[in-house]
A and B are shown apart, each in its own frame.
Chain A
Amino acid sequence: MLNVFDATSPIARAPAARLTSVLCIGLFPAWAFAVFNAPIDSFQGVIQKILYIHPPLAFGAYLGFICTALFGALYLWKREPRFDHWALSAAEVGVLLCTLMLLTGPIWGKGTWGRWWTWDLRLTLTLLLYFVYVSYLLLRAFSEGSERAARFAALYGILGLVVVPLNRFAIELSGGRALHPANLNPGDDQLGAGMTSPFVLGVLLVFACFAWLLVRRYELCRLREAVLLQEAESEREDAWAT
């Protein structure tokens, strides 16, 4: 059985997988060191350190969902399986990062707001987007035939992204409270002294992990397709022999 964590496997030998894994291995200790040495927030305490992983996970998740829709659109246009493989890989990685984001957020919320969850604009939008992409993966899992699954998933992925601005408008209209902290803009200097570098390293680390997982998942799709083709070939040969 193919082990994707085995350094000698064909996936691990792919140049892009090597490069991204080196990036992850290099960035992780730097990020951990920067987080450990970052000053403790005078108001929130140590729980503020979730900032160094939670927003980066959100950026990674959104990137995954945008890639899913873009690669889905490319698949519908070109009908080349590689675009579908990229879309599926991006959706799976996006859902994984979104799950981690939805787990880390409530920990910070409980410590700061005193509540695990609130129906805030951004929280609700993200949760709905999460459900859309979980449904996307279910649609793929339950569709028969790889071409049909790819087509349906591409359409649904695009629809899932189209609904985001509508959801935003809808939640604002329903009086969604904006409890969630505002976006961190590079020029605003909202982070305290010594907090910028662990945050930036966190973003870089998540993007590197995103790229690494994406490449490995894509290679897995290609290998799976190659195995299926090989099986079909040998079945055809067996049929000829008998």
Chain B
Amino acid sequence: MNVLRAVLWKDLLIEWRSRERSVAMLVFALLVVVILYLAAPPADTPEARAALPGMLWVAYIFAAVLGLNRAFALELDEDALTGLALAPADRGFIFLGKTLASFVLLLGVQAVTALAFGLAFGVNFAPVALPFAGVAALGALGICVVGTFCSAMAIRTRYREAMLPLLMLPLLLPILLGAVRATDALLNGEALPGLALQLLLVSDGVFTIVCYLGFDAVLDE
């Protein structure tokens, strides 16, 4: 657990000092919202409103891909990755520390993006702020778990930036569908759908366990 805390603190401190990842993720997410607004201007039809949760989560995933690409890139400087791999500790906790650092950043980006999205598309998140925050957090956790795991592999391939989305996007469907379904219900004033929440919880759990167990082999050089 000390390793988890140390890695989490290190990543957040680096981010606090440089603010590179969070600013890039946020600006990118806002640009995606603007592009979505221009490509599909808000219309007061049931079809247009039904597409909104999906559009919001597409913006979240794009921002996450950008941020997660940097999750392990900063460990390449001074060959810090070798240092991490040689640390006399369970590597699974290194993975969890890195995941939580990305999760914290993504949560912040999600909050600001939701505000911008609400303003652009006339969506009022205020009445459902708390349950929506829960859904966003569950979705962000799954994205960060899969993304951090894939990022650790992608960073050591020839086409790093291109490789991460290719690896993580085919795996993210359960997270995306669960989150979109739950967001859709909330925006329509319905109760949170139990099955969507179950899907998010089970997917987060399964991905966390598999990636935690497999991470030892990722750093095994």
Contacts and interface: CB of A to CB of B under 8 A. Distances in A.
B166 to A, nearest CB: 5
Interface stretch (A42-50, A52-60, A155-163, A216-224): A155-163
Contact of B217 (A132, A155, A174): A155
B177 A159 contact: no
Nearest to B154: A139
Contacts, number: 87
B188 to A, nearest CB: 15
A138 interface: yes
Interface in B143-166: 149-150, 153, 156-159, 163, 166
Interface stretch (A165-173, A180-188, A194-202): A165-173
B214 A174 contact: no
Interface residues of A, number: 28
Contacts of B158: 142-144
| Interface of B: prevailing SS | helix
A99 interface: no
Contacts of B218: 151-152, 155
Contacts of B203: 166, 170
A169 B193 CA distance: 14
A169 B159 contact: no
Interface stretch (B33-41, B92-100, B168-176): B168-176
A171 B195 CA distance: 12
B156 A144 contact: yes
Nearest to B215: A155
Interface of B: 149-150, 153, 156-159, 163, 166-167, 169-171, 173-174, 177-178, 181, 195-196, 199, 202-203, 206, 210-211, 214, 217-218, 220-221
